[in-house]
Amino acid sequence: MVRCPTVRYHTKVQVGRGFSLEELRVAGIHKKVARTISISVDPRRRNKSAEFLQANVQRLKEYRAKLILSPGSLLLQTREVVQLKNLNWPLS
């Protein structure tokens, strides 16, 4: 969550383009892991307000709590698929 930069809209709060590195650090998420679980990272962003920092960290923690990850054993099972060979498929 960020504030708009101009004088006319500086009271408006909107969703930013990505989370800052500090927000990810406080939430306990590594930046490379964040990208793999569909969290956008904006390394240029800086936090000016502790209020918005805590709000974004809370959003990250809620997202991570709702996230369902498949176990690693299922990923290993999909890699062990055997390709069928010597099948004659009829041409139509």
Q: Are 10 and 49 in contact (CB under 8 A)?
A: no
State the pTM of this model: 0.67
When pLDDT is averaged across residues 78-82 and rounded to a whole number, the result is 58
At 10-37, the pLDDT tens digits run 888 887 789 999 999 999 999 998 988 8
Q: How far apart are CA 56 and CA 65, in angstroms?
A: 14
Helices (H) and strands (E) in the chain, counts: 4, 2
Q: Place 68 in a pLDDT band, splitting at 50, 70 and 90.
A: confident
Rg (CA), the chain: 22
When pLDDT is averaged across residues 52-75 and rounded to a whole number, the result is 82
- E-assigned strands of 11-71? 13-14
